[in-house]
Structure 1
Amino acid sequence: MKNLFLSLSFAVIGSALSLSSHADQMTIAKGHAVFMATGTSLTILPDPSSEQLSCTYNNGVFSSGSSAGIEIPLPGAVDVKLAGNDLYVATLKAPAGLPIPGAAENSYVKYDVSACLPDVPFTPSIARADLAAGELVIPCVLVDGQEYNVVMNQRGNSMNWEVIFADSGCQ
């Protein structure tokens, strides 16, 4: 009986943690804009927050202008990806088949956000190292004209490092 109770307890706790991890907002920062899928909307904020965005949003189109922030109602918005000047927002239906009003089932919405990403001088982030954990993160490495964010792990106790993850684009 104790084992059954313990097993069920772990199952319930694991399920709760799984659901809470899916509720986290997904964020991408590029240029001087931060794009967030919040579950109910797409939110765009300036970075740093003391400045204005270089774009506005009217009638489904981003255009040049100035705004303190933009919030677009988008039920079921769970993730954002940026490819060039195109922002893709993934939308999902609610768990257990309960539809979210206004959201398509497991789909995405595409926006041209070039107005929010003006050509500005780029200042790369600082490389971070956690030597105790054996991890080194090098942002914005330019390789053959392509930009990458590189994560490296230390091999054993040596000073040899191996690339374990390279994400395209500087964010």
Structure 2
Amino acid sequence: MNHPILDQTFENQNFSGKKLLAKEYDNCTFANCDFTEANMSVVTFLECTFDTCNFGATMLKETSFQEVIFKDCKMLGSDFTSCNDFMFSVRFDHCNLEYSSFSGFAMKNTMFTSCSLKEVDFTDTDITGSVFADCNLKNAIFENTIAENVDFRTAKHFIIDPEKNRLKKAKFSTTGLEGLLRKYNLNIE
């Protein structure tokens, strides 16, 4: 099937271990779907919503996400590094992205709301203008990350070395200062 799938809703579908049939999904909704070990390679998603979906070990090689919303999704260990970066635009709302990787990826102006981002790899990632609203960034890796104009004010448990990352005009709360000064072994009260 090479023609696009438009304006469809997929509910309670099991795509586990399967290759998605269409090359393009436009304005589709996926609700309570399982994409565990699915092959989404070389598929384009335009203005789609994934609600309460599971993405365990999903293949995302050259997958294109444009204006895509992920809500309440479980995306443990997802590797976004091989996605198509052309017009990449996503929003994550209440998602579990623990152990995922965005290393070397450009994902400017991305909105993360109430997400668990434990041990997520942002090495060499451009997250300029992104927002981490009420997110848990425990042990997330920020190394050579471009985080200019990023809003970390309500993010928790992050450790970011200002000498190894670009943080110009990034926003932090006073409670987040410890995460910026951790390497100096200071007692902040």
Q: Please tell me the TM-score bracket, short chain as reference.
A: under 0.3
TM-score, structure 2 length as denominator? 0.17
Greater relative contact order (Cα 8 A, min sep 6): structure 1 or 2?
Answer: 1
Query: What TM-score results when the alignment is normalised by the length of structure 1?
Result: 0.18
Higher strand share: 1
Q: Which of the pair has more CA radius of gyration?
A: 1
Bigger fraction of residues in helix: 1
